[in-house]
Structure 1
Amino acid sequence: MKSYGLFSAALIATGTLWAAAPAQAQDASWGCQVLLCAASQNPSWHGVSYCVPPMTKLITAMAEPGFSWPICEQAKAGKPGRENYEQCREGTKVGYSEHGRDGNRREPDRCVTTVNVCRDRLSNRRTGNNLDYRTVAGGRDGNSCIQETSSLRPRRADPWYFDIPNEQGKKQRFWFNLNY
């Protein structure tokens, strides 16, 4: 969807078009400007000259103490969500590579699967897979053929998202980033 079509549709959805005179995107509140720009997909907000000032203002404001995300009340989208990592592939689970000083887990940055290395060791050597193995305790002698392998989860290029309801109230997810 082109960004101008998105702006028109979003402005209508947010109720910022008036019957007397058509509104422009720059007439929207800052929260609606941010939402409109974040939802721009092709090109992203980086490629829409109108979007650079409100998004730059947002990025700057986020560094200030007491920052509060600007909301577009009319769009009923609320604050954005954030997911730094892609989903793990089917058959794996999310894992953690490290724990903090307080014992709590850090970010879920690994994809973990359980494998029978006795059966799979030869095939892994043949294919040259470089996987991290962790032995799962078990068996008579404390060793087990069942081990966990893990790999790094890919990071998302666009970790932020808004869930914006359409005309039927069904939410559509729009991913974006806050990189300059």
Structure 2
Amino acid sequence: MQSYGLFPAALIATGTLWVAAPAQAQDASWGCQVLLCAASQNPSWHGVSYCVPPMTKLIAAMAKPGFSWPICHEAKAGTPGREIYEQCPEGTKVGYSERGHDGNRSEPDRCVKMVNVCRHRFTNGFTGNSRDDQITYRNTGGGRDGDSCTQQVSSARPRRADPWYFDIPNEHGQKQRFWFNLNY
């Protein structure tokens, strides 16, 4: 089976393996096979028949004690990273669920922002000032008993479809990120 150019950046990064025309993808080490398959974008590794066996082997190996990620030393990519959540939308920041199952803070699975919930400037004891149509609200009750105009609003942080990534150096040494998943 030939490499077909399905993985151009990875092929460049691992050029020592594929510079010679007779070299074939199945001749690569398991770590390089995994890297090449993970870097496949269109189609993903799921749609490349060559990639299914090494990736299935990887998934099975990860479930065993003492698993060590197979490395493609020629590519200088190391082990993959993992980010299970997308970035929060603009105007929000990363937040945490109240408590994790073990009593500690859980993972950063929320997007939060502070919003002014006072809908009208003449609500319950409003005092404030106005300057060039910009109104500054402040709570006259000192913020006790939930009578503040500012509340924290949070929403679930979106999960990534492809939470794993390799940063593979290109021919100029600049790293390019390739996202993938290990769902089968």
- When the two structures are superposed, what TM-score results if normalisation uses the length of structure 2? 0.80
Q: Could you say which residue in structure 2 is the equivalent of 1:73?
A: 73
For the residues of structure 2 that align with 1:158 and 1:86, how far apart are their CA atoms? 10
CA deviation vs aligned residue, 1:131-159 (integer Å, no higher than 9, x gap)? xxxxxx99425131110001111111101
Structure 1 residue 146 and structure 2 residue 123: aligned?
no
Identity, % of aligned positions: 81
Q: Could you say which residue in structure 1 is the equivalent of 2:178?
A: 174
The amino acid across from 1:174 in the alignment is: F
For the residues of structure 2 that align with 1:31 and 1:9, how far apart are their CA atoms? 16
Q: Is the 8 A contact 1:159 1:177 kept in 2?
A: yes
Instruction: Map residues 24-35 of structure 1 onto 2, 5 A cutoff.
Output: 24-35=24-35
Q: Is the 8 A contact 1:81 1:160 kept in 2?
A: yes
Q: Which has the higher helix share?
A: 1
Instruction: Map residues 31-180 of structure 1 onto 2, 5 A cutoff.
Output: 31-100=31-100, 102-119=102-119, 139-140=141-142, 142=144, 143-180=147-184
Q: Is the 8 A contact 1:162 1:175 kept in 2?
A: yes
The amino acid across from 2:72 in the alignment is: C
Instruction: Map residues 7-18 of structure 1 onto 2, 5 A cutoff.
Output: 7=7, 10-14=10-14, 15-17=16-18
Provide the aligned length of Structure 1 versus Structure 2.
161
Q: Which runs of 5+ in 2 are unaligned?
A: 121-138
- Cα RMSD between the aligned structures? 2.2
Larger radius of gyration: 2
For the residues of structure 1 that align with 2:36 and 2:156, how far apart are their CA atoms? 33
The amino acid across from 1:119 in the alignment is: R
- When the two structures are superposed, what TM-score results if normalisation uses the length of structure 1? 0.82
Quick one: structure 1 residues 79 and 16, their matched pair in 2 at CA, closer, same or farther if it must change by over 3 Å? same
Quick one: structure 1 residues 158 and 91, their matched pair in 2 at CA, closer, same or farther if it must change by over 3 Å? same
The amino acid across from 2:142 in the alignment is: R
Moved >4 Å (runs of 4+): none
Q: Which runs of 5+ in 1 are unaligned?
A: 121-136
For the residues of structure 1 that align with 2:65 and 2:33, how far apart are their CA atoms? 22
CA deviation vs aligned residue, 1:85-129 (integer Å, no higher than 9, x gap)? 110011101111232355422121110000011138xxxxxxxxx
The amino acid across from 1:113 in the alignment is: K
With 77-86 and 93-102 compared, the bigger mean Cα shift is at: 93-102
The amino acid across from 2:148 in the alignment is: S
